[in-house]
Structures are given as C-alpha cells and as structure tokens.
Structure 1
Amino acid sequence: MDGKIRKSELELLNEAFNIFNTATEKLQESYQKLKEETEKLRKEVEEKNQKLEETSSLLSSVLMSTNNAIVAIADDNSIILSNKKYKEYYEIYGDQFLSKLIEFKAEGSYEFDLKGAIFRVHIGKFEHSDVKGWTYSVEDITHLKELEEEHRRDEHLKSMGVMAANIAHEIRNPLGSIELFASLLARDLKNDNEKRVLIESVLKGVKSINSTISNILLFTKEVIVNKKEYYLSDIVDDVVLYLRHLMNDKKIKFVNKIDENFTIYCDNELMKQVFMNLIHNSIDAVNTGGIISVSCYQEGDFDIIIVEDNGCGINEDFMKKIFIPFHTSKTKGTGLGLSIVYKIIKAHSGNIYVESDGKSYTKFIIKLKRG
C-alpha cells in the first residue's frame, strides 16, 4: 500500500516537474520574444531619435544659414532663440535693432528704417509650454527699395522726355521765325547803334533758348552707344583741360588719382560729356581753394569711378530728385545736366549714385560693367 502511494506521489511529482519544465520553456520562449520585441523597440526608438536629431540639426542649420534674421522674443522681451543673421545685425546696429523689433507687437508685416538701411519684418505669435512671445523674421530690403526707386525714376524720366520733346518742338518752330526776323531787323538797323544793341540782345536770348532746347532734345532722344576700350585718364584729362580756366579762377586743386593704365569700355564722346557735367558741377559747388578729385578701382566685373569734391554738399531732399530733369539748385541752369549724365550711364548698362552729407562733400559714384 505504501509502495503504491509512493509510486503515485512520484508520478504526480514527475507530472508536476514536466508541467514546470513546459512552463519554464514557454516562459523562456516568451522572455525571448519579449527580449526580441524590446530590442526591436529599442532600435526603432534609436532610429526615431536619430531622425529627430537629424531633423533638429537640419532645422537648426536652415535657421542659422537663412539670409533673414530670425529671433524669438518672449513677452518679457527676453530672447528665446536667435540665428546667425540676427547676431550680425545686432553687432552692426546694437540695441537699436532690438528696440525697433519690440516696438511691433501684432502679427503682420512691417517696414522700418535704421541708420540708412530699410528692413522688412514679418511677425508671428508663439506659445510653447508656459512661454509666450513673438517670432520675428527680418530681411534687409535696402537694395530692393533702391531698385524700386530706380524703376520709378526711369519711368518718370521716360514720361517727362516725351512731354519735353513735344514742348521743345513747339517752341523751336516760332523761335526760328523770331531769329530770322531779328536778323533781318539787325541788318536794316546796322546804322542805328542803340536799336541794334537791343536786337542783338534779342538774338542772344534766342540762342540761349535754342541751346536749352538742344539740351532738352538731347535728353529726350535715344542714346546710341558705340563702346570701345579707352584710357580713363585720357578722357578725364581732355575734360579738365577744357575746364582748367574755371578751376584757375577759383584756385581749385584738381587731384587725379587714376592709374594711367586703367581702361574702361565706353563711348568716348558721351563719357566726356558725363565728366564735363560732373566736374563742372563740382567747380560750382566748391569755394575758392576747393579740391576736386577723380579716382577709380575694379570691383569684380565692374569699373568704379568716383568724382568727389569738398564743396557745399547736397541736402537729402534734393538728392532724391537729383537725376530728375528741371530740378536744379543753381540760380542759372536748366537742371538737365545730371539727367543727361544719368541717361548716358544707363545707356552704357551702368549706374550712378550720389553720396553727400549736405554740408562738406559730394561724391558721384559711377559703376560700369567691363567689356
């Protein structure tokens, strides 16, 4: 009996042991599967973290390399985030740049001026965790504004040119008759000195008007350029030789800083007219003993020529209209000289700029493409 019991217990023990082994095997299988799933999840997490890191790095790279200044400013005016371009602007303009930005506290696009530069700023609101504030994307649009102004000037010059041409032709026809009749009258009155002097004054006035009309027509007609390579010093020397007597009268010192081997591609006669106008204006602007200089250098594919004087300067309001015809600060003159200069330079596919502090100097900068 006891043997049977022991046998039964052994069988139960074996059965339990078998069940335990089976459970252990299943547990090991489950553990292996769990281990494999865990490893799989770990790899997926690593891959996602890697992608997240790469995306974050890419976003940071884009943020830092964009030409726009990007800055996030909290409501308490503390900077949360900024990129390289913002730091460049801050180095140039200092706290004024930041102060200008925080003046704007509404979503939208705005423009502001700072030390002669023009900026456009796009503003959006952000909220992250418990931080609220504004994001600013700032771009320097100074050059764009200059191009817009140049386009408006060109359109204005074009419309004024058409009008001026019509007026010039309308005046020139009766003016020819006046000159003819005055000449005949002068011939008939050659023995009457008193009246002949009056007639000669009329003829002088007619010639003056005719000269003005010729300048107007020169301004209105299309400029045809025949470009060749010329030594810049030769062009300027010819002009200075012609104007030397005016410089001597005012004891003006002319400083020629042009390298004798420096050449430009231009229409020789038209370019002489450019320097004739610019240097003549400088002569009028400087006081006795003043200084006029011409210098040049190369900048990439462009020739840069500078005509500078230490005269009375040009005020800011007049500079905005300086190349528009019939605007002049002189008591005598038509205001066409610089308009013609502008037209000639544009015909050379170049550009001309003016700088002045309005009191002690004026600088005309000509930019011509080589070849």
Structure 2
Amino acid sequence: MVRKCEKGECQMTTRTIFRMGLALCFFFSFLLFPSTVYQETKNVIRIAGDNQFPPFEYLSDAGVYSGFNIDIMNAVSIQTGTNIEYYPMPWNQAVQALQSGQVDAIQGMKKTEARKGTYEFSVPYFTSSQAIFVLKDNMFIRKVDDLEGRRVAVQKGDVATDLLSRVKQVQLIEADNQQEAIQLLTEEKVDAFVGNRITGQYFLQKSRQQPLTKIVGEPLDATDYGVAVMPKNKELLSVFNKGISRIKGDGTYQKIEKKWFGEYIMPYSFSLRQTLLYLEIGLALTFVIITCVLWWNRSLKKEVGRRTKQIERINKELEKKMVLLEGNVHFQQQLLNSAYSSFITMGPSGNISMMNDRAVEYLHLEKAIIGTSFVQTPLAAFIPEQEILAALQDKKVFLQKETVWIKDRSEKRNIVYSISPIQTMEGDSAGVVLNIMDITEQKELERKIAQEDRLRSLGQLIAGIAHEIRNPLMSILTYTQLLPKKFDSPEFRIFFSRHVTSEITRLNALINDLLDYSRPKKSDPIVFPFYEMAQGIVHLFKQKVKEADVVIRWEFDGEVWAIADVQQIKQVLMNVILNAIEAVEKGGIIIIRGYYEEAKAVLQVEDNGRGMSEEEIHKMFEPFYSKKLNGVGLGLSVTYQLIQENNGEIRASSREGEGTVMTIWLPGCRKDENDVSCHGN
C-alpha cells in the first residue's frame, strides 16, 4: 500500500535528499579527481526541455524545473563532470531552439524514423509510448483508424502529429502543451487526445478528471527515448552516453526511475477501490486483534490473501468482458448502419429502443424519438398495430409482407417489412425487430421487365405460328393450283387426297399444341413412384432404343415418391427421354437417376450426346424454338409449363460434345414400409 503524501511533502523530501546526495558525490569527486572535474566542468552544455511535460520535465508551482529527465541529466552531470544549463520552454519552441543553435541538446526526445534524418541521439534511457484518450462514454473510437474524420488534440511538435499523418481527414487541434490538449478533451471541444501515455494520466489525476476519460487501444508507437543533438554537435553524445552507462551501472538510474514511476498509481475500477478500502479497515481491526490471538491472525492473513487474489482475478475478467462488450456493441452498430434496410427495435411496451442510420434517414426521424411509443411515429401509417402486438405478446413472426405507404399525401411508396420477436435466454419476450425495405423502384423495374418479356414472347409466338402454318398452307395451295390440270389423273387425285389430308392433320396438331401451351389443364396431384413411371415410358420407346442401340442405366436411391399429376408428368418424361434418345449417337448411354433432395423428389436424365451451346440452353424452353428438322418447338415449352403447374422445377446443364443433363424437381414424400400413407420428407 502506497501512502499518499499531503501537499507534496514526500516529493520535496525525496528531491531534497537526492540533491544532497548528488552534491556529496560531486564534492567527493572533486576531492579525489580535482583536475579532471575542473577541466570537464569548465564547458557548459545548454539543454532545452518541455516546461509542461510531467512527470518527465515541468516547472513546479514554486518555479523549480523538476522531473525524471532533470534528475537523469543531473546524475549524468555528476558522473561526467559536465556543467548543464536548463532552458525550459514549450516543446515546439525547444525544437526550434535546437535547430537554430540557441541550445546544444534536448534532454528527452523520442527516436522516431522521421527524426533520425534530422537529429543524432544518445543511447536510450527510457521507452516512451503514446496513447489515445477519449471521454468515458465514447463507444466509437477503439484504435487509430477510428480517428478518421474526428477532431484530435495534440501538442505542437509532438510525434503524435507524424503518427496521425496516415489517418484520412483527421482534424488536428494543436495546443502548446499536453495539459491544454487534455483540457480540450474534457471540455468536449475535441473527440480525442493523442499524447504521452504517462503524462496524460498524470494531468488527469492531478486535475481529478480521470473518471471522465479512458484510454482505448494498445500502447502506440513505443519508441526509445534519449538525448537529441544536431549533427554538428554529435561529439556531445559521447558525454551523455558515458554518463547514462555509468548511472545504469551503479544503480542511480534505478533509484531515479523508482522515485518518479515506482509510486505511480495506475487507475483501478471503483469496485476494486471500494474493496481495498474495506480491506484496509479489516487489516486495521486485525492489527488490534493480533496482539490477543496470534493463531487467528495467521488464518485471517491467508484468507485475506486468497480473497484479494480472487477479487483481482474477477476484476480483470470484468475488464476484459467490458472491453469485449464495448467492441461488440460498436461492431453491431456499424453492421446495422451499413445495412441497406431500415432496422428498428422496440421494447416490450412497444416503445422505440434503437434505430439504424438508414431508418432515421428514410423515415425523416430524429434520434430523440428513442423511447417514443410506436403508435406516435410514422410507422403506424403502414405497419398494423395488431401485428406488432401479436409479435410482442404471442411471439408471432411476420416475414416479407408487402404494403403501401402514402408519404406526404402525394408520394406512394411500396414497402416490404418483417416483424420478428426478440426473446431472452429464458424465452420471455424482450421486444421486436422491425425490418423495412423500400421496393418502389424494384416494383417499377419488375413491371417494365414483365411488359418487355410479354411483348418479346408474343412476337416470338406470332412469328412461330406464322412460320409453322405457312408451310402446310403453301403445300395445300400448290396441290390445289395443280388440281384443274391433273384432275383426270387418278394417281394425282390419290396423291392430292393423301397429302392434303396429311397437311390439314399437321395444322390440327399444331392448333392442339398451341391450346395445350396456352391453357394447360389444372393438375390433379397424387403420390406415384418415379422409377415405375420412367420404366413404363422407356418401355414405350423400346423400338427407338433398339434402333439407336442406346444403353439405358438406372441409378435410383431406393424408392423415390413424388406428388404431381401423373398424366402431365408422363407427358413431361416422354419429351425429356425422347429428346435424350434422339440426341445420342449409335451406342450412346442414357443414365436415369432418382433421389431425394431435402423435401424434393428428383429425377435426372443424363445423356452423352452432342450437347447444347449456352444460347441453345437459354432458348430451349421458348415456344417454336427447335433444332430438329421437322420439330415444331412446343414440346419443351409445354413441358416447362406442366412442371410449373405441378409446383416443380426443371433445369438443364449441357456442354457441346459432352452431353446434356435434364433435372426435374417435384414435391416429394417418403413412405413407411408398412404404411401406404405419405409422410413429409
């Protein structure tokens, strides 16, 4: 336990004793080595330093230049017999004085890469680091990169200026000393202060403003700290290097360091200070009792030690958790603010508890609306209150619901919203999350695309119909024109009746296909096995399979049951399997697979035929598109519509010269071995 001294009595006593010791050392050095001391002290070294940089160097209230650096230089002066004159001034003036030759050295300067090209440095006698100081309630600044676009206080000429030069759009507010820079922070004139870690804490403790601030992030720019001279005075460094080496060797440096930093009280949490206060009271009582019961004192000491370690461990864990919590809150806020959607949370009573920046901007709200009831906000104009209450009370979820918001009585906005309940770990309702997205532009774009698609499809359909009807009509016209000339020929009459009838039948089949394409009948879904249906269709094409010398392979993962209209799916499989047979060359292979994929029954027909190009794949389901010589181009179009009618999906993948895979997904189910009913997959 470090006793705090009243009105600087400990500091003055320590300083007085130390100076007396230095004087005695100098006196004995003069007696032992009079000629040497006289010769070395006849030259005076002018040293500049900061006048407000405690505890390193500062002018006390009594006007005495004191500090860690001063004691180090005094010790070096005694060890080397060098006479030193001190010139305390603001830091930026000290740097200018050194560069202009008004002084010979600066007693303490950080040895940075930028300064190495300007100054020469002694061996380091300290390691100095910078820190970021922010106000206690600041949750957004955690590291140097977070200072982008912020107002940051620094001391004129300090290395913090170089450190912050890589931060974009940072606004540097320069002060004559670090005390003024810290005052700018506590007065909320800047967002952060970057400066010496120890000096900053010194000023905060001295002004009793430490509870208002905190240090964030890791120590910055830990750098060697030593005496700096201009290159022309480089020979002076041998004096300082010799003195520093000697005071480190004889223990003087350790005493000076302990004097200025050994009793430095680092900040503790309130709970630890309170615990230590109780511990002091307990120790005082124990001291009274120890005279009576020695054995009880020993056991109490052990218990106190154990509890102290436990408390320290708990406090460290709490500090780590607080840092982690602050980081998580900061990350979550950034995540919400970066989202395209508007996020709003409400508490159990329906009051607004949080909004991201997107919601504030879109709804033209203000942060002051936090705590206001939901019904008193613009949200009540398009979000039903009963849905909010249902989510709060019954934990109901409302996903992707569309609505219209009449904004400013003239502007109509299409909105999609979702309402999700927030629950505690125990399952109790803690509020709701409201996710809002404006889809007005998306709706308009979908309308335009649908209109263009309808016009394009109509044009293709009309062109296809004209092309398909023109061929048989031209044949009929030609035969009819020849009829007057060749009517007496029995062979022509037989030819005419056969071919005209064939062309009319072709026209009738085309009209029927068009009717199937435009008005597919409503499906009547039942449960059926994929394998048996596919086998039956392959059996129908048995002759074609034999003529093409095609090998059919079956790869079914057990029984695969689907739910769809049997007749429509038969028509689909006939088109798909027939296309595969016609696509392969002699001796080709067709693989028919069946399996489950989650809740879907899947049938896959793979061939090693000629395959299709990307353009053919994109157009294969369009009406009147066919690569066959006599094909109409409605087979796959009708197939696509039938699959859609049965809540399924069909997709093709192909590469030219390697074959094609047609995959069909339909609603599936699994049947128990002894149960004819179908259970969901």
TM-score by length of structure 1 reads 0.55
3-state SS in 1 of match to 2:601:
strand
Tell me which residue corresponds to 2:405. Answer: none
3-state SS in 2 of match to 1:328:
coil
Query: Is the aligned partner of 1:192 residue 2:463?
Result: no
CA distance in 2, matches of 1:157, 1:277: 27
Amino acid in structure 1 at the alignment position of 2:602 = I
Query: Is the aligned partner of 1:272 residue 2:543?
Result: no
How far has the Cα of 1:218 moved from its partner? 0.7
Tell me which residue corresponds to 1:285. Answer: 583
Indicate which of 325, 345, 354 corresponds to 2:652.
354
Tell me which residue corresponds to 1:255. Answer: 553
Judge conservation of contact 2:624–2:633 (CA < 8 Å) in 1.
Answer: yes
Tell me which residue corresponds to 2:269. Answer: 43
Amino acid in structure 2 at the alignment position of 1:321 = K
Judge conservation of contact 2:560–2:601 (CA < 8 Å) in 1.
Answer: no
Query: Is the aligned partner of 1:210 residue 2:481?
Result: no
3-state SS in 2 of match to 1:214:
helix
CA distance in 1, matches of 2:663, 2:206: 77
CA distance in 1, matches of 2:612, 2:460: 28
Tell me which residue corresponds to 2:48. Answer: none
- CA distance 1:327–1:152, change in 2 (3 Å): farther
Indicate which of 324, 327, 342 corresponds to 1:53.
324
Indicate which of 534, 543, 546 corresponds to 1:245.
543
Judge conservation of contact 2:594–2:601 (CA < 8 Å) in 1.
Answer: yes
CA distance in 2, matches of 1:280, 1:155: 29
Judge conservation of contact 1:230–1:264 (CA < 8 Å) in 2.
Answer: yes
CA distance in 2, matches of 1:190, 1:62: 94
Indicate which of 315, 318, 324 corresponds to 2:622.
324
Judge conservation of contact 2:461–2:623 (CA < 8 Å) in 1.
Answer: no
Amino acid in structure 2 at the alignment position of 1:311 = G
CA distance in 2, matches of 1:253, 1:153: 45
3-state SS in 2 of match to 1:314:
coil
How far has the Cα of 1:264 moved from its partner? 1.0
CA distance in 2, matches of 1:324, 1:261: 33
Judge conservation of contact 2:651–2:664 (CA < 8 Å) in 1.
Answer: yes
Query: Is the aligned partner of 1:344 residue 2:642?
Result: yes
- CA distance 1:303–1:55, change in 2 (3 Å): farther
Judge conservation of contact 1:231–1:260 (CA < 8 Å) in 2.
Answer: no
- CA distance 1:219–1:367, change in 2 (3 Å): same
Judge conservation of contact 2:460–2:623 (CA < 8 Å) in 1.
Answer: no
Superposed CA deviations along residues 247-306 of structure 1, whole A, max 9, x for unmatched, are: 111111111223563211111111110110001111111000111121011111111110
CA distance in 2, matches of 1:190, 1:303: 63
3-state SS in 2 of match to 1:320:
helix
Superposed CA deviations along residues 185-242 of structure 1, whole A, max 9, x for unmatched, are: 9xxx899233212221111111122112211111111331100011112211221111
Query: Is the aligned partner of 1:334 residue 2:560?
Result: no
Query: Is the aligned partner of 1:304 residue 2:602?
Result: yes
Matched residue pairs, number?
Answer: 249
Superposed CA deviations along residues 15-46 of structure 1, whole A, max 9, x for unmatched, are: xxxxxxxx969x9xxxxx989986897438x9
3-state SS in 2 of match to 1:56:
helix
Query: Is the aligned partner of 1:364 residue 2:662?
Result: yes
How far has the Cα of 1:311 moved from its partner? 0.3
CA distance in 1, matches of 2:452, 2:603: 22
- CA distance 1:48–1:152, change in 2 (3 Å): farther
How far has the Cα of 1:366 moved from its partner? 0.8
CA distance in 2, matches of 1:324, 1:295: 26
How far has the Cα of 1:59 moved from its partner? 5.8
Tell me which residue corresponds to 1:141. Answer: none
- CA distance 1:55–1:320, change in 2 (3 Å): farther
Tell me which residue corresponds to 1:226. Answer: 524
- CA distance 1:225–1:158, change in 2 (3 Å): farther
Amino acid in structure 2 at the alignment position of 1:242 = L
- CA distance 1:312–1:63, change in 2 (3 Å): farther
Tell me which residue corresponds to 1:112. Answer: none
Unaligned runs of 5+ in 2: 10-204, 213-266, 271-314, 340-445, 670-681
How far has the Cα of 1:53 moved from its partner? 3.4
CA distance in 2, matches of 1:211, 1:367: 29
Superposed CA deviations along residues 315-371 of structure 1, whole A, max 9, x for unmatched, are: 111111111111111111011111111111111111111111121110011111226
- CA distance 1:156–1:253, change in 2 (3 Å): farther
Q: Which has the higher helix share?
A: 1
- CA distance 1:221–1:38, change in 2 (3 Å): closer
- CA distance 1:229–1:50, change in 2 (3 Å): closer
Judge conservation of contact 1:302–1:367 (CA < 8 Å) in 2.
Answer: yes
CA distance in 1, matches of 2:455, 2:550: 33
Tell me which residue corresponds to 2:12. Answer: none
Judge conservation of contact 1:350–1:367 (CA < 8 Å) in 2.
Answer: yes
Please tell me whether Structure 1 or Structure 2 has the larger radius of gyration of its CA atoms: 2
CA distance in 2, matches of 1:246, 1:207: 24
Judge conservation of contact 2:520–2:642 (CA < 8 Å) in 1.
Answer: no
Greater RCO (CA < 8 Å, at least 6 residues apart): 1
Task: Give percent identity, aligned residues only.
Answer: 25
3-state SS in 2 of match to 1:230:
strand
CA RMSD of superposed structures (Å): 4.5
Amino acid in structure 1 at the alignment position of 2:599 = D
Judge conservation of contact 2:609–2:658 (CA < 8 Å) in 1.
Answer: yes
- CA distance 1:300–1:212, change in 2 (3 Å): same
Judge conservation of contact 2:601–2:665 (CA < 8 Å) in 1.
Answer: yes
CA distance in 2, matches of 1:157, 1:250: 41
- CA distance 1:247–1:58, change in 2 (3 Å): farther
Tell me which residue corresponds to 1:313. Answer: 611
Superposed CA deviations along residues 74-94 of structure 1, whole A, max 9, x for unmatched, are: xxxxxxxxxxxxxxxxxxxxx
- CA distance 1:39–1:260, change in 2 (3 Å): closer
After TM superposition, the structure 1 = structure 2 runs for residues 139-178 of structure 1, keeping only pairs within 5 Å, are 156=454, 159-160=457-458
Judge conservation of contact 1:229–1:263 (CA < 8 Å) in 2.
Answer: yes
CA distance in 2, matches of 1:241, 1:296: 18
CA distance in 1, matches of 2:592, 2:624: 26
CA distance in 1, matches of 2:488, 2:591: 49
